[in-house]
Amino acid sequence: MRPPVPTTTALSLRYAGVAYLAGSVLFTIYYFASLYRNSQPVPVVKPKVMTEPGMGTFDVENILYSQQVMNWQTPRGFPEHETEEDAVLSKIFSSTMQPSKVLPYYFKAIRQFDPESVTITTLITFDRYPIFSKLVTNYQGPVSVSIHINDDELRDENLSKLQDMYNSNPYMREFVDVHVIVDKFDRQFNMWRNVARFFARSNYFMMLDVDFHICTNLQRHLSLDAQAREVMRAGNAVILPAFEYVEQEEGVDSTTFPKNKQSLRQLFDQKRITTFHDFFPKGHNATDYETWFLTDEVYKVTAYQHSYEPYVILRKEGTPWCDERFIGYGANKAACLFEIYISGIDYYVLPQDFVIHQSHPYKEETRKQERKYNRKLYQNFQEEACFRYSRGFMRDHVWDADKARNLKEQCGKIRGYSQVMELFVEDIHVDEEEEEVRKERSSEGKKGHDSHKVV
């Protein structure tokens, strides 16, 4: 039997009821939304100093920063020693192109960070602001970013654009420390990296290029993975494997990216995703993607070579800095990771986490020239770094210890290195033997003396 057809009055009553219900739901939503808005005012964040009439923002900053002093504690009773911040910073970054003005914490996040957390350190230029904002929203953890502003007539305009960027996303205020570098030198990448790391406020930092999307819940995985934390605490590096889409268009919108290894695997098998820059395998293949797809445990990188430039998390304390003589494209990050590796830091790969490149067109022409120059510099740098660390290891008597293994493996590839080192090693062994003999003699002497006493 069919239900009776409702009368007009019943029908209109029902409509009225539905309308009332919908109305009250909407009202409630609106009410709570406005309550929430009122309780959460979104203040506009400004740099520490505002422009005074007739002065650019930067002029004011400049004056103020130059007045900051660092205090050096001295034994009680002596006055503290003061040094101007400008002087301190100029020494910290003394191997960079000068003059250069660093403004630390131009914006500072309001949060206090867990010292055990990982701060993302990265560099951005003006055209990368939107993608940076996505990174911040996605990570929801500490971020320390270096921003270069050209010291020209657009300087103050660009600083105010930076302020707009900072205010455009409420997560900036929560998580992001901005350090500004004002000078006339584009692309001092390694200096900018060091600035971001120097002012990072937790014990670990990740060196990430801003256009990479962290696809997984990295912070959660790290907090659960005892093995990974062990590696990090010991001062070794952990790596997130890097991928990219084969078709540029597919790699634009990170909301469509895979969120776990299984989904990534499917896209990889379908050849829609590949390892990052597979036209230059040496950049990333030491990550050993084959092993990575098969394992769910942290594993050690065994095929390191000097062109390897993965995305790493490192301990802030005890990790060598990036050499700041590398300016422009090419070799800068590889050089940094080379020195870190030969200093005795081992590289491990995280089993669950990965990053995918978000496509954008490259400016190839400038890159070519700079690459050529930096390739030459990198050769010299490797030799120099090898001898510097070799000397240090011998002096510290760790030449035969595990710490020197990475160095021996890499530096051994440099022509002429082994022959020179043989001489050093002989010298050092002679020195050590002499030292031994001296020690034995003196302890014998002591024993003789002691026994004498006893008798």
Ligand X SMILES: *[C@@H]1O[C@H](CO)[C@@H](O)[C@H](O)[C@H]1NC(C)=O
Of the candidates 6, 281, 445, 448, which one interacts with ligand X according to CB under 6 A? Answer: 281
Q: Is 63 in the site for ligand X (CB under 6 A)?
A: no
* Residue among 360, 137, 122 at smallest CA distance from 251: 360
Of the candidates 154, 234, 246, 430, which one interacts with ligand X according to CB under 6 A? Answer: 154
Report residue 187: phi and psi, to 5°: 60, 45
CB-based contacts of 112, cutoff 8 Å, min separation 6 = none
Whether 431 and 397 have beta carbons less than 8 Å apart is answered as no
In angstroms, what is the minimal distance from the CB of 328 to ligand X?
Answer: 15
- What are the tokens at 333? 């990050």
Of the candidates 285, 374, 382, 390, which one interacts with ligand X according to CB under 6 A? Answer: 285
Amino acid present at 442: S
- Choices 150-158, 293-301, 308-316, 340-348; region in contact with ligand X by CB under 6 A: 150-158
282 versus 391: smaller Cβ distance to ligand X: 282
DSSP state of 274: E
161 versus 391: smaller Cβ distance to ligand X: 161
Distance (Å, whole) CA 93 – CA 101: 10
- What are the tokens at 237? 């590096």
Of the candidates 126, 299, 321, 373, which one interacts with ligand X according to CB under 6 A? Answer: 126
Distance (Å, whole) CA 111 – CA 439: 55
Whether 124 and 178 have beta carbons less than 8 Å apart is answered as no
In angstroms, what is the minimal distance from the CB of 401 to ligand X?
Answer: 26
Neighbours of 345 (CB within 10 A): 21
User: What is the residue whose two structure tokens read 């070519």?
Assistant: 368
Q: Is 294 in the site for ligand X (CB under 6 A)?
A: no
- Choices 78-86, 99-107, 143-151, 398-406; region in contact with ligand X by CB under 6 A: 143-151
Distance (Å, whole) CA 49 – CA 64: 8
Residues 29-58 close enough to bind ligand X by CB under 6 A: none
Whether 303 and 286 have beta carbons less than 8 Å apart is answered as yes
In angstroms, what is the minimal distance from the CB of 329 to ligand X?
Answer: 16
CB-based contacts of 248, cutoff 8 Å, min separation 6 = 359
58 versus 113: smaller Cβ distance to ligand X: 58
282 versus 357: smaller Cβ distance to ligand X: 282
DSSP state of 307: T
CB-based contacts of 32, cutoff 8 Å, min separation 6 = none
In angstroms, what is the minimal distance from the CB of 180 to ligand X?
Answer: 10
In angstroms, what is the minimal distance from the CB of 196 to ligand X?
Answer: 16
Binding residue count for ligand X, defined by CB under 6 A: 13
Of the candidates 51, 90, 138, 150, which one interacts with ligand X according to CB under 6 A? Answer: 150
Taking CB positions, which residue lies at the least distance from ligand X? Answer: 281
Of the candidates 282, 315, 316, 367, which one interacts with ligand X according to CB under 6 A? Answer: 282
Distance (Å, whole) CA 142 – CA 286: 28
Q: Is 277 in the site for ligand X (CB under 6 A)?
A: no
In angstroms, what is the minimal distance from the CB of 281 to ligand X?
Answer: 3
Whether 143 and 175 have beta carbons less than 8 Å apart is answered as yes
Of the candidates 19, 29, 246, 303, which one interacts with ligand X according to CB under 6 A? Answer: 303
- Choices 79-87, 116-124, 277-285, 371-379; region in contact with ligand X by CB under 6 A: 277-285
Residues that bind ligand X (CB under 6 A): 126, 148-150, 154, 157-158, 281-282, 285-286, 288, 303
